[in-house]
Amino acid sequence: MAYKIMILGASYGSLLGSKLAAAGHDVTLVCRQKTADLINTKGTEVRIKLRGEDTHRSFLSKSLCGQTNAVTPEHAQPQQYDLICLAMQEPQYSHPSLTDLLSRIARAKVACMSIMNMPPLPYLKRISSLDCSKLTEAFLNPEIWSEFDPSLMTLCSPDPQAYRPPEEDPNVLHVGLPTNFKVSKFNNPELDRMLENISADVDAFRVDGKGVPVKLRVFESLFVPFAKWAMLATGNYRCITQAGPRSIQSSVHSNIAQSESIYDFVNKLVVTLGADHGDMVPFAKYSTAAEGLRNPSSAARAVFSGASNIERVDKLIKLTAESLSMHNAEIQEIVAVVDAELATQINRPA
């Protein structure tokens, strides 16, 4: 069965869109007019390196089984889709055109799968041990999520790493780390069957008899996507320092004992929420991966490029811990530094 899927965000979202279209599903990307015109004319190009090959292959949307098109938020019709994927950064949804679209999505009662690092509030409401009223400070505009039915929201961990090459048009995406998307079930038989079907279709796609990296894996646990929290706290947000940006490698390995302490605290927090220890990634595995991450995180690059808002998973971790009477001085320091650097950017003279 072919599904109709709308993805909000044509940058990172084009990776998921390419995988879905290759699996035979029809994809609509929601983006700015200029990007939409480019995609509707030329399609998308996603570059992925297959296992055992030295160079990336280009997957062109116009040559895939499913159809790919693009629209602006104002022209999106959410009621026409089986699944809607949220693939933008959390602060971006506060733009008036996207706030309006979110409201229309919520009222259309369409199933949503977020692939943000920042879990949307409706997803957090599915966790019975959380008091979400204590978490709103982490969101730029928490009210935009108020109309959503939590039972229609799930979360997918955006583990694959990809970027737009600066010298290319915005319809091109280069995949640097082709790991898998990991999505939690809705706990609804019909919607979960849709996820399983899509997962199987993505898995079945072959090129020259070879499987293509970046699968969609479906999990029972609500907490599998939260395995990334410890990585974000230990590496990504600590790239933001008072002295400027630093690499993830430096953030983790400049003081390995402190990094392990932060990592273990965040994993303990997620387990306290209800996760199994098996849902978590061991620190040793993460620290090994971090040795090759020699650039600042996207959050750090955004802050030191003048961004006034970024996704605040660091603050969400702090508030979640405090709501459970758990405290960690290092997490509090991370949040304080990010707050201060964002304030500096906001107050910097034009």
Domains and CATH numbers, the chain: 4-219 (3.40.50.720), 224-347 (1.10.1040.10)
The model's confidence at residue 170, banded by pLDDT at 50, 70 and 90, is very high
The model's confidence at residue 350, banded by pLDDT at 50, 70 and 90, is low
Q: What is the pLDDT of residue 285?
A: 94
- Whether 296 and 290 have beta carbons less than 8 Å apart is answered as no
Q: What is the pLDDT of residue 292?
A: 86
Q: Which of 59, 60, 106 is nearest to 86 (CA)?
A: 106
Q: What is the pLDDT of residue 345?
A: 75
Q: What is the pLDDT of residue 176?
A: 87
First-to-last C-alpha distance (Å) of the chain: 53
Q: What is the pLDDT of residue 349?
A: 57
What one-character DSSP code corresponds to residue 350?
-
Instruction: Label residue 57 left, alpha or beta by phi (over 0 means left) and psi (-120 to 50 means alpha).
Output: beta
- pLDDT tens profile 292-310: 888 899 999 999 999 999 9
Q: DSSP string of 196-230?
A: HHHHHHHHH-EETTEE-S--EEEES-TTGGGHHHH
Q: Scanning the structure block, which residue is given the tokens 């997490």?
A: 331
- Whether 180 and 216 have beta carbons less than 8 Å apart is answered as yes
- The stretch 3-24 carries a mean pLDDT of 97
- Whether 102 and 144 have beta carbons less than 8 Å apart is answered as yes
**pLDDT greater than 70 at residue 187:** yes
- pLDDT tens profile 26-60: 999 999 999 999 999 999 999 999 999 999 999 99
% of the chain exceeding 90 in pLDDT = 92
Q: Which of 49, 325, 71, 82 is nearest to 210 (CA)?
A: 49
- pLDDT tens profile 115-139: 999 999 999 999 999 999 999 999 9
Q: What is the pLDDT of residue 348?
A: 62
**pLDDT greater than 70 at residue 325:** yes
CA atoms within 13 A on the CB side of 127: 27
What 3-state DSSP class applies to 160? coil
**pLDDT greater than 90 at residue 235:** yes
- The stretch 61-66 carries a mean pLDDT of 97
